[in-house]
């Protein structure tokens, strides 16, 4: 699925600070999507399997705040290793603050 295949009745909410994620808003809910770029899907023996940009649906939410919280969690979990609890909490706090600055402009 590409952005052109999203329903025309959907409002897309994008911001550089939440990339590669973005939010789709329709009449009933907020949907979190991830843009997946070519060559980023490694499968078996190191082959790059993704040949074109795609959109992956990740989660559905009833509020914008919940969708943004989900994106914050995804951004923190994208990093595979944290060497200390303090390092994890510091990153979680940084990401949440970055998203809160968007909301509270």
Instruction: Please list the pLDDT of the chain residue by residue as tens digits (105 residues).
Output: 555 566 677 899 998 888 999 999 998 999 999 998 776 555 555 555 556 788 899 999 999 989 999 999 999 998 889 999 999 999 999 998 888 887 775
Q: What is the pLDDT of residue 42?
A: 55
Q: What is the pLDDT of residue 105?
A: 55
Cβ atoms within 10 Å, residue 33: 20
| Count of structural domains, the chain | 1
End-to-end CA distance of the chain: 32
Q: Angle, to 10 degrees, between the axis of helix 64-77 and the axis of helix 85-104?
A: 150
CA atoms within 13 A on the CB side of 51: 0
CA distance 66 to 74: 12
| Category of 11 on φ-ψ map: left (φ > 0), alpha (ψ -120 to 50) or beta | beta
Instruction: Give per-residue pLDDT as tens, 29-52.
Output: 999 999 987 765 555 555 555 567
The answer, as to whether pTM is greater than 0.75, is no
Q: What is the pLDDT of residue 47?
A: 56
Q: What is the pLDDT of residue 67?
A: 94
Q: What is the pLDDT of residue 68?
A: 92
| Among 23, 4, 17, CA closest to 65 | 23
- Max Cα separation, the chain? 46
Q: Which domain holds residue 73?
A: 3-104
């Amino acid at each position: 699925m590409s952005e052109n295949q999203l329903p025309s009745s959907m409002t897309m909410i994008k911001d550089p600070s939440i990339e590669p994620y973005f939010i789709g808003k329709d009449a009933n809910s907020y949907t979190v999507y991830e843009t997946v770029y070519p060559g980023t899907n490694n499968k078996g023996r190191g082959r790059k399997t993704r040949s074109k940009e795609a959109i992956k649906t990740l989660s559905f939410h009833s509020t914008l705040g919940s969708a943004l919280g989900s994106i914050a969690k995804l951004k923190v979990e994208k990093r595979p290793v944290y060497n200390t609890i303090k390092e994890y909490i510091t990153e979680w706090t940084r990401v949440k603050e970055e998203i809160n600055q968007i909301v509270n402009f």
